[in-house]
Structure 1
């Protein structure tokens, strides 16, 4: 493609190296993009509160699409601009259906605009470890009792791909189902909400066409975005679904794959 007018990148497994750091080379590439006047948008499954450390390492102050498209966050203003929520009744129905397909599952939710932002039921184990001290443990009825931007379903004895196949048999497109790790976690959003819809919102605000966007990703939750962007780039370490969706494959996140592509223009 010609020089992109907007750069969009997933965070974990893509922009960050395997130790969850922004390497000096990648940080320099991002800062050159921003210095050129080209927007650099983080598009991630992370909630807004997990964005500032990445933004500080890269000097980003613009938009971040969070929660797999459910939340649009203004980094510089530390403000949520848009939130697409899951209704409590819908979440109860979905959880009831999934219990048949995934017996022994545990759930958690991400919320925006209400505290606490992260609520888990007893026995829920974060696949990334205990990274979040902002949440609290509550009975399932309470976890599901308020609108949420993301419903997290965890099963420690299954892979995420296995869970997704089982979920597809009992959920009739009631929610959008994806995953960003294969370590037994499904991420559920409001129907039709993906990273692609979140990024499309940003581009509408900035009057940038999809054909002028380059997007980077590595997991199934990036597939819709890779298809939507004018040029989708998957990391060499990516999930097969992302590799298939991409227009190009770059080096792995351990070898500055994002920077390798951006250095063509910036």
Structure 2
């Protein structure tokens, strides 16, 4: 159920918490390629700074692992108060951390073996990865295309990759399409897990009931902020629950229709700095 404030909040409404996706929202990256990559546009950086100037909280919420998010927090200069660490929602809500320094304060894990085996029966050449936090990278059965994973890739047999409970599994088939994976996931059911299909044939597996929304709910409770006073901006299928959860959920202009339909409003695409456009509505220059 959505909170009362939605597409057109009251005239005096201003978000107390702003939840931001990263890839395709803050960064001009959609399909695994960018030019240049991991560059925060000045207009986006400045808009985020105005949110902080107003005393509102900014929380990054991404499918990325923690080590792939902290440098974005640094680039945005989110950490101002040395006595108060940031909250970050990583791994599509399965990992919640404080930063700096990195401290995982909550993690949800699950047995991914049955779901991984089911997908590999259909896509035996698919790539599989799980986060390896100790080295700031991933354990993978084969190397992913350059730029798709951050940090070191450690070659590991699939049986070992899923031998223990994990917070998130990535399955990628460069020879397939996103529609192939949407159909596959729906057909298999993937019992015991939740899943999200990315822009390409990229499948994120996570514990049942875990999403960016569940992670943000924990953070909002810690901060004493109601979901009705939250603005969330995102572009991917893994943002759908977050956009529905927030008092105002805004989809980026390049988002697929499924994501746009879940949002209260749609801003312009990432290549037109849609996040800054939306933030400037509530935090003008």
TM-score past 0.5 threshold: yes
Q: Which of 156, 164, 188 is 1:138 aligned to? A: 156
1:107 and 2:131 equivalent? no
Give the gaps of 5 or more residues in structure 2.
Answer: 1-8, 30-35, 80-85
Q: Which residue of 2 aligns with 1:76?
A: 100
State the match for 2:139 in structure 1: 119
**Are the equivalent residues in 2 in contact too, given 1:121–1:140 (CA < 8 A)?**
yes
> What RMSD, in angstroms, separates the aligned Cα atoms of the two structures?
1.8
1:170 to 174, 188, 210: 188
In structure 1, stretches of 5+ residues that fail to align are: none
Q: Distance in 2 between matches of 1:141 and 1:172?
A: 18
Contact residue 116 and residue 136 of structure 1 kept, 8 A: no
Shift of 1:264: 2.1
- Aligned partner of 1:211 in structure 2 is 228
TM-score (norm 1): 0.91
> SS of the counterpart of 1:193?
coil
Aligned partners of 2:170 and 2:205 also within 8 Å? yes
Instruction: Indicate if the aligned counterparts of 1:9 and 1:41 stay in contact, CA closer than 8 A.
Output: yes
Aligned to 1:13: 24
Number of equivalent positions? 259
Measure the CA separation in 1 of the matches of 2:73 and 2:228.
Answer: 26
Q: State which of 245, 250, 261 in structure 1 corresponds to 2:267.
A: 250
In the alignment, is residue 229 of structure 1 matched against residue 246 of structure 2?
Answer: yes
Q: How far apart are 1:230 and its partner, in Å?
A: 0.8
Would you say the 8 A contact 1:111–1:147 is kept in 2? no
In 1, Cα distance between the equivalents of 2:116 and 2:91?
A: 19
Classify 1:111/1:191 alpha carbon distance in 2 versus 1 (closer, same or farther; 3 Å). Answer: farther
